[in-house]
Amino acid sequence: MFFHQRRGFTLIEIMLVVVIIGILVAMIVPNISGRSEQTRKTAARTDIESNLSTALDLYHMDTGRYPTTEQGLSALLTLPTVSPVPAQWNGPYLKKKKIPKDPWGHDYIYVFPGAHNPDSYDLSSLGADGIESADDITNWGNESK
């Protein structure tokens, strides 16, 4: 008996493998691409509700008030020079020596006193589109989106 030695794959075998890989990629890629946007929203929410919020609360504990809108978030890093200059400033209040940007590269928006939180401050990110819209992440009325 003679046995034929096979060296390599047939065209049909290669095409079958390519089709299977294509099907797997088509099923997996949409799931992964949706996760990156969800991760960015979570990071912005964490900055707003934890990191920046904690720093602002520490500033408030030391100085007796939140920074004004004019002083902005930079008051968490350097002693404000705009009135009212706090006497008991004990910063910097952020570990990293810079004001973080949101995950889309935009500045966080800080307003004191807040329109939505009149006894406190409003802190928000404009989200992926960079304009005020439904995808904004805020420290007021955050629903799971």
pLDDT reported for residue 106: 93
For the 43-138 domain, the top CATH level (class) is alpha beta
> By the 8 A CB rule, do 63 and 89 touch?
yes
Q: What is the pLDDT of residue 143?
A: 46
pLDDT tens digits, one per residue of 77-129: 999 999 999 989 998 999 888 899 999 999 999 999 999 999 999 999 998 88
Domain residue ranges of the chain, discontinuous segments joined by +:
43-138
Tell me the C-alpha to C-alpha distance, in Å, between residue 43 and each of 9, 77, 101.
48, 21, 11
Tell whether pTM > 0.85: no
What are the pLDDT digits (tens) for 12-60? 878 888 888 888 877 777 666 667 788 889 999 999 998 999 999 999 9
pLDDT per residue as tens digits for the range 60-74: 999 999 999 999 999
Tell me if 58 sits within 8 A of 72, measured CB to CB.
no
The pLDDT of residue 145:
41
Cα-Cα-Cα-Cα torsion 98, 101, 102, 106, nearest 10 degrees, comes to 170
Q: List the structure tokens of 46.
A: 């964490």
CB 89, CB 77: distance < 8 Å:
no
